[in-house]
Amino acid sequence: MEAQTNVTKQISPFSVSFLIPGMQIGVGVLGFERIIAKEAGQDAWISVLISGLIINILLWMCYKILGRGPQTLDLVAVHQDLFGKWAGNAFNIVFILYFILISVIIIRTYLEVIQVWMFPSVNIPLLLTIILILVYSFVTGGFRVITGFCMIGLMIGLPLMLLKYFPLKQAHFYNLTPVLDHSFLDIMKACKSMTLNYLGFELLLVYYPFIKKRERSQKWAHLGALYTTFLYLISILVSLAYYHQDQLKDVIWATLTLWKIVDLPFIERFEYIGISMWLFMVIPNACLGVWAASRCAKRVFGFRQKKMLVIILMVILVSCIFLDNRNKIDLLNTYISRMGFYMMYLYLPLLFLWQLIVYKVRDHKP
């Protein structure tokens, strides 16, 4: 089934360079260093580079999957085309749940940061409701509005990354040596641990029909993924240089802790400002995930997208309230990371190969 979109709702190919990092850069960047340092120590930065390379290969596969069909395809159409209506929609429902879970963990993890670092007694249901109202308003505004907000979020978030200059003044670069001291297996384990931070590029499979001159957007998608890789690389290098790796393994929010040493004459606790500004990175994450889930649900079940959007937001509200302690949040993080790992590194290549086989067989039919 072809995925048609009105030209007035489409975005330029260049905008894809904001959508890819707009989904990948979120709360994960505030504390991913500890997770991969546990596996690869001072060689963790190599895992970031390898993960970035793999993501670009998977992006290339996504474009091949979407561009092979004679019609304008999206994820729903690809599944229905390759597996039939019923089996295809079963796969689509799995992805809808996957997009919802990503949105849940993005929002709940950010609320946890606020709770731990700023306001321990904050009313989580109230703050959650406010965030979901914001998400609703942006998603109902349409995909172009979400894209514009991704651009704004990245522009606001970029100056925060320049604050890496302050810990660099006290960095010890010999912490990065010896290079390649860990085994290839350890480095690849760290790559697996990076999965949750790179999730989101696969949303291209949903918003592909909303791109004008789609074939021209591929280079911008790769540039967006490279920007994400560069940002994560800078973050892990600075953290490794500032902390000893034994220290880093015990620092839950490495980037947030580094913000505490920012010395500005007019701000005493900069991490409060940083966490508040980071909301402009988190909301686009949530908007893209919720939009993708509601878009796929509309295509699968045939209901209006606004109706599906309300249902999805209610599911997110209940789920986030249920995640009322650190152990539950960590457990969901682990499950989503594993799920994302199988989705990215196993399912996408298999879908790529299966589509190739199916189209080859169809072409050779008399």
Positive or negative: CA dihedral 77, 79, 81, 85? negative
In a 13 Å sphere around the CA of 199, the CA atoms on its Cβ side amount to 31
CA pair distance 90, 259, nearest whole angstrom = 45
Return the pLDDT at 4: 58
Return the pLDDT at 157: 81
Q: What is the pTM of this model?
A: 0.92
* 326 touches 102 (CB < 8 A): no
CA pair distance 140, 306, nearest whole angstrom = 7
Return the pLDDT at 205: 92
pLDDT (tens digit per residue) in 274-319: 888 888 889 999 999 999 999 999 999 988 999 999 999 999 999 9
Nearest to 22 by CA among 213, 137, 152: 152
CA pair distance 258, 42, nearest whole angstrom = 18
User: What is the distance of C-alpha 322 from the center of its chain?
Assistant: 22
Is 124 exposed, middle or buried (CB count within 10 Å of its CB: 0-12, 13-18, 19+)? middle
Residue 11's DSSP bridge partners are 211
Return the pLDDT at 288: 94
The packing angle between helices 124-140 and 305-322, to 10°, is 160
List the pLDDT tens digit at each of the 366 positions of the chain: 556 566 667 899 999 999 999 888 888 788 888 888 888 888 889 999 999 999 999 999 999 999 886 666 789 999 998 998 899 999 999 999 999 999 999 999 999 889 888 888 888 899 999 999 999 999 999 899 999 999 998 888 888 777 777 788 887 888 888 888 888 899 999 898 888 888 889 999 999 999 988 889 999 999 999 999 999 999 889 888 888 777 777 788 888 888 877 766 667 777 788 888 888 889 999 999 999 999 999 999 988 999 999 999 999 999 999 888 888 888 888 888 889 889 889 999 999 999 999 888 877 655
Residue 219 to residues 15, 23, 27: CA-CA distances in angstroms?
11, 17, 26
pLDDT (tens digit per residue) in 173-182: 888 888 888 8
Residue 267's DSSP bridge partners are 264
